[in-house]
Amino acid sequence: MTQVNLSGFKKRKRGGRAFGFKAFCKPGYPVDFNGLFHQNINTLLELGSPETNLCSGMQSWSFQLELHRQPSVHISLFIIEEPTEASSHSHCNHCVYIFLKVIVDYSSGWGHHMICNKKFHFVVPSKETATATPASLSHEGNSRGSDATTAALKSNLIELHGHLMHGVLHMSGFGHLLCINGVEKSSELAGHEIMDLWDRICTGLRARPLYSGTRMKVSLTDIARKKSMDLKLIHGVAYGEPWFSRWGYRFGRGSFGVTQPMYQKAIQAIQGIPLCLLVHQLGSSNHEIPIILHRYQMMSSNSLFTLGHLFHFMLELKTHLPQESSMASDNTSIVLDTACRWSPKRVEMAARVIVDALRKAEHRWVSRQEVRDAARVYIGDTGLLDFVLKSLGNHIVGNYTVRRRVNPVTKVLEYCLEDISCTFPNQDNLSHIDPWGQRMKLQLMKDIFYLYKYILNEQSPAALITKIFTAIPVAARIILDTKHLIKDYGGELCPNIGENLMVLCTIWLRDNIGTNEGIMKALPPYEVIILPAYATVEDLKKEVQRFFREMYWGLRSFIVESIIGLNTKDSDLILKLVQVQSQFVVKGRIVEKGINIDEIYECGINNHIIDCLCGANEDDGERMISCDICDVWQHTRCVRIANDEDVPHVFLCSSCEHDIAHLPSLP
């Protein structure tokens, strides 16, 4: 695929507006989003810079997000509006995979959502997807270029893989996070920072009433990895939840027939494995595991009894150690604000003075004022001292951890030093070139990977003899097969309607023959309809007809006929009806001929019969193969087909094989 050139976007447009990265889409920034989703997205796009030639003629906007002011560093966020008419794939597979037939709530079945007229892509390109070509000329205002350059500009940005972030939101407010990539993609941002950006965008744009039942929901497929380790397995054992749970993403559905109770039991099974049993069973064949367990038992202030306790402590310890990008000196764990007016050298000097003052206290707790007074002998800038004292709490400086607490009696802030140079064996002669915090983090990551590999991922034959260890591969597989997560963004915010009326409406389609029999798979989610204070029933019908035509691709010729359950005249005021019922089901039909009703839903026409050995009876997005006799689809993994080379010329499911084996032989 031709690469899209975005190199010109690394620099701000001359005179263009830059938005703060960490504040983007927070409440009130860059604007207040007080409307419904489709209104809020239009409000946001008005602030962007229109772009051309990014996605085959689709409308696009760019936002310059400022990471640092000194030196000036920006990243580009692109929003691409993809009309269904211009899309190569009108149906959304992500909606299909997250859909469960067992859900009977009409507002929950994603596969039974109607196809929207538009969806919006949010893309932060990586260096690989923003390769340098002459396309930057267009961005910089230079119109010179060859026909080849123009052709290169028309590549489709949303079809490229490997972006730092790519999410899509349907016009109805439902969406999917397709990918995030952090430092391992040579990004200046960590994965959690990019995830924060996505979460702020979704939170800022959602704005649906709490009682509407049509809250904004976003799905993702959890394949996050860190240094070749699956994060959902590591975090599942440590916290009982996936890594994405810190942003509110929870179990949506599992692949290969995995259910939520199976997922919870798998996590509990691994979390509850006693460490003493691990040492007893593995200590004789693997001498490194007892050393690792003893190392962190000594460091923890609480006893570590189970594998869940151990992983929880190790990951919590990791959060208190310096990040890889800031390991330059002894005070590496002090996080400098980009607006900090002191140089790193002065901050480092102040930290050393404070640690020396605490060292003289001989491990006793010292009040903040006492530490500050002792340090002022060498550092006259009290503002600098206050900044460093605030930043040092429970962080590592050199061979010490600076502890901070509030005295339970005096309620005064106190500090104390904890010598951690003897925590690890063979860690003598610590130098400024290789600070202890960095070495400790490297050792910690090495230990986590070792436990992941030899306990969670690869069990020795000797360990598998024990019943409790035979359950680990099964439980780990269940956790890894739980990929589809969902976040419900709630609906605490209501649109600012002033003196207008707000009602909730959905539609019920009937066939064109004239009968009253419904032909719909499910009701669409209830939508908010805003009407003037003295609107009539006729006004409501017109507004519902307009709204659903603009919202859904298959309803572009939708005609409203009546309101179910109401025996009213068109001239009656809605104000009188709202007091009795604020939710309405409007009956209507599609005038346009030749429309297949199944084609207007995200799930489309799917006549595949899925009956896999794992128990799955729905498409979960995993690789499948169909039987050449009965056309039943099954997972390739479940029938032991590892790759394309192993696919047989004729595949028979186990049922058909059994039937053929019992056929009478021919004479």
Please state the domain extents for the chain: 7-222, 253-321+443-482, 328-427, 501-599, 609-661
CATH code given to domain 501-599: 3.10.20
Q: Could you tell me the fold of the domain covering 328-427?
A: Arc Repressor Mutant, subunit A (1.10.10)
- pLDDT of res. 446: 92
Own/partner pairs, 296-304, CB within 8 angstroms, 24+ separation: 296/447, 298/423, 299/423, 304/275
Q: What is the pLDDT of residue 632?
A: 93
**Percent of the chain surpassing pLDDT 70:** 78
Of the ranges 95-109, 213-227, 617-631, which one carries the lowest mean pLDDT score? 95-109
Tokens of 212: 């509407």
Amino acid at 580: V
Residue 574 has pLDDT above 80, yes or no: yes
Q: Which residues contact 32 (CB under 8 A, 6 or more apart)?
A: none
The letter for the amino acid at 248 is G
Angle of helix 307-319 relative to helix 436-451, nearest 10 degrees? 150
Do the bridges between strand 60-68 and strand 49-51 make them parallel or antiparallel, or are there none, so unpaired? antiparallel
pLDDT greater than 90 at residue 498:
no
Tokens standing for residue 666: 């021919």
Reading the block at residue 583, the tokens are: 């939710």
Backbone phi, then psi, for 288, in 5-degree steps?
-75, -35
- Separation CA 122–CA 308 (nearest Å): 37
pLDDT, mean of residues 124-150: 48
Task: Kindly state the average pLDDT of the residues 71-79.
Answer: 87
Write out pLDDT tens, residues 308-358.
999 999 999 888 776 654 333 333 345 444 456 777 778 878 888 888 888
How many whole angstroms separate alpha carbon 31 and alpha carbon 225? Answer: 35
Structural contact between residues 115 and 84, judged by C-beta atoms closer than 8 angstroms: yes
CB atoms within 10 A of CB 428: 8
Query: What sign does the CA torsion over 391, 392, 396, 401 have?
Result: negative
Selected residue with higher pLDDT from 143 and 207: 207
Does the pLDDT of residue 15 top 80, yes or no?
A: no
Q: Compute the distance between CA of residue 389 and CA of residue 397 in angstroms, rounded to an integer.
A: 12
Compute the distance between CA of residue 238 and CA of residue 240 in angstroms, rounded to an integer.
6
And the tokens for 292? 């690792």
Q: What share of the chain is helix, strand, coil (3-state, %, to 5)?
A: 35, 20, 45
How confident is the model at residue 625, as a pLDDT? 93
Tell me if 5 sits within 8 A of 133, measured CB to CB: yes
Per-residue pLDDT at 197: 96
Longest dimension (CA), the chain: 107
pLDDT score of 323: 60
Q: CA-to-CA distance for 388 and 480, rounded, in angstroms? A: 43
Residue among 169, 164, 187 nearest 80 (CA): 169
Which H or E element spans position 367? strand 366-367
Q: What is d(CA 277, CA 310) in angstroms, rounded to the nearest whole number?
A: 13
In DSSP terms, which residues pair with 531 in a beta bridge? 501
Residue 141 confidence (pLDDT): 33
Question: Same CATH fold, 501-599 and 328-427?
Answer: no
Under 8 Å between Cβ of 129 and 179 = no
Q: Judge whether residue 232 has pLDDT over 90.
A: yes
Residue 200: per-residue pLDDT: 95
Q: What is the Rg, in whole angstroms, of the alpha carbon atoms belonging to the chain?
A: 30
- Give Cα 561 to chain centroid, integer Å: 42
Q: What is the pLDDT of residue 120?
A: 95
Q: What is the pLDDT of residue 420?
A: 66
Residue-level pLDDT at 134? 33
Position 493 scores a pLDDT of 52
- CA dist 565 to 22, 524, 560, Å? 49, 18, 15
**In contact, 75 and 65? CB cutoff 8 Å:** yes
448's CB contacts (< 8 A; 6+ apart) are 229, 234, 311, 314, 315, 318
Listed range (310-324, 505-519, 627-641) with the worst mean pLDDT:
505-519
Beta bridge mates, 530: 502
Q: What is the mean pLDDT of residues 214-230?
A: 84
Segment 64-73 mean pLDDT: 82
**Spatial separation of the C-alpha atoms in residues 478 and 233, rounded to whole Å:** 10
Q: What's the topology of domain 609-661? A: Herpes Virus-1 (3.30.40)
Please report, as a single letter, which amino acid is at residue 584: F
- Give the residue-averaged pLDDT of 365-394: 85
- CA–CA distance, 49 with 67 (Å, rounded to integer): 18
Q: Helix, strand, or coil here: 214?
A: coil
Helix count and strand count (H, E) for the chain: 18, 23
* Token pair in block for residue 218: 């976003």
